[in-house]
């Protein structure tokens, strides 16, 4: 059985932890969640849905559908864009995702980007959408996060790649969740290619290896050759591929600064442990940064009085709302 209700446990007499009781009460007791963080994050999203007065969505498995508290109902979720925190952010989504010209070639997961409250793609828009409309604010935030490497943010893109499937780059379908171009204090060109995680545990199938990866890794000169096999396997492979995409984009497009950023919640132990392993595979971090979502939200909050960042923190990061999560 892949899910459980509070009534199921009550009737069967099986003892539940308090956290699992809360998950069952919010219809999100899913056995795919492998850690306290994942369970707590799913509960937090269902709690937010209830607070907003939104109906519960459904998940389909093997020709049957069942309700789940961490999703919104379709097609209402797409029509209303209720997964997004402000009208400004909703307008950015309309422009970036719903416009067939701007979204051409981009791999937005549908309907997940509309109805899945846990998905990191909506989170990207909820954290960076307002920044696309306020580049001075984006500049202030990125300048602090990069310790002065950014002088002026010039544009922000979502689900962006210099060339999907292009052998000039990695030859695969990798893309950055968020892409930030900027000028340095010396008026040189730079970019941040950001990979965003929230609920993910980084467990999944390994993608096919490519000779092109070996070429890029050698050219970047930042990976320990004795640990390449670790980078080829999960949970590190996707991180490595995105890092290489940033590296070859910097080289091929002649950027003076090109940095890959891995962004995740500080309490996501799957990501933090992967980061510790990944950093051991690097000989230098000139093209790599590790940020927590908390640190980005904190810098935004220090740079603006707008309430959208408080809405973001309440929805995604305030685990004090989840009883017995111990996070």
Q: How far is CA 242 from the centre of its chain?
A: 13
Q: With 60 as the cut, is the pLDDT of residue 122 above it?
A: yes
Other C-beta atoms closer than 10 Å to the C-beta of 146 total: 20
Coil, helix or strand at residue 298: helix
Angle ∠(52,54,59) on CA atoms, nearest 5: 135
CA gap 6, 85 in Å, rounded = 30
With b for 16 or more beta-carbon neighbours within 10 A and e for fewer, the 29-38 pattern comes to: bbeebeebbb
pLDDT digits (tens, 9 = 90+) for 154-183: 999 999 999 999 999 999 999 999 999 999
- Tokens describing residue 250: 């910097």
Q: Please spell the DSSP secondary structure of 122-188, one letter per residue.
A: HHHHHHHHHHHT-HHHHHHHHHHHTTTS-SEEEEEEEEE-S-TT-TTTTSS---EEEEEEEE-TTS-
Q: How crowded is the C-beta side of 190, counted as CA atoms within 13 Å? A: 24
pLDDT digits (tens, 9 = 90+) for 185-204: 999 999 999 999 999 999 88
CA gap 287, 261 in Å, rounded = 9
> Where do the domains of the chain lie?
3-71, 132-302+309-316
33 within 8 A of 17, measured Cβ to Cβ: no
pLDDT digits (tens, 9 = 90+) for 268-307: 999 999 999 999 999 999 999 999 999 999 999 999 999 9
- Residue 266: left (phi > 0), alpha (psi -120 to 50), or beta? alpha
Q: pLDDT band for position 14 (50/70/90)?
A: very low
CA gap 113, 288 in Å, rounded = 27
pLDDT digits (tens, 9 = 90+) for 52-108: 999 999 998 777 899 999 999 999 999 999 999 999 999 999 999 999 999 998 999
Other C-beta atoms closer than 10 Å to the C-beta of 111 total: 16
Coil, helix or strand at residue 28: coil
CA gap 281, 287 in Å, rounded = 13
297-301 long-range contacts, CB within 8 A, separation 24+: 297/127, 299/140, 299/141, 299/144, 299/145, 300/127, 300/131, 300/137, 300/141
For residue 5, the model assigns a pLDDT of 44
Q: With 90 as the cut, is the pLDDT of residue 6 above it?
A: no
For residue 232, the model assigns a pLDDT of 96
């Amino acid at each position: 059985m892949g899910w459980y209700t509070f009534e199921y446990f009550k009737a069967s007499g099986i003892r539940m932890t308090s956290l699992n009781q809360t998950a069952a009460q919010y219809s999100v007791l899913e056995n795919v969640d492998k850690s306290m963080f994942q369970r707590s994050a799913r509960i937090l999203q269902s709690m937010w849905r209830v607070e907003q007065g939104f109906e519960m969505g459904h998940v389909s498995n093997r020709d049957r559908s069942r309700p789940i508290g961490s999703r919104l109902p379709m097609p209402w979720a797409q029509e209303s864009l209720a997964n997004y925190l402000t009208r400004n952010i909703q307008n950015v989504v309309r422009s970036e995702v719903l416009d067939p010209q701007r979204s051409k070639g981009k791999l937005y997961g549908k309907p997940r980007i509309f109805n899945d409250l846990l998905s990191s793609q909506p989170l990207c828009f909820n954290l960076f959408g307002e920044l696309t409309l306020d580049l001075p604010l984006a500049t202030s935030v990125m300048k602090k996060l990069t310790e002065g490497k950014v002088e002026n943010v010039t544009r922000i893109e979502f689900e962006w790649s210099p060339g999907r499937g292009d052998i000039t780059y990695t030859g695969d379908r990798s893309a950055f969740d968020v892409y930030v171009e900027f000028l340095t204090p010396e008026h040189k060109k730079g970019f941040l290619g950001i990979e965003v995680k929230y609920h993910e545990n980084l467990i999944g199938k390994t993608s096919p290896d490519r000779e092109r990866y070996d070429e890029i890794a050698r050219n970047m000169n930042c990976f320990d050759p004795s640990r390449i096999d670790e980078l080829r396997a999960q949970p590190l492979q996707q991180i490595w591929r995105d890092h290489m995409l940033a590296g070859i984009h910097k080289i091929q497009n002649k950027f003076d600064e090109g940095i890959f950023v891995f962004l995740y919640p500080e309490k996501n132990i799957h990501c933090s442990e992967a980061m510790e392993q990944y950093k051991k595979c690097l000989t230098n971090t000139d093209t790599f940064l590790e940020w927590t979502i908390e640190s980005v939200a904190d810098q935004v909050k220090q740079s603006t009085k707008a309430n959208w960042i408080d809405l973001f923190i309440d929805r995604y990061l305030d685990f004090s709302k989840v009883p017995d999560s111990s996070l």
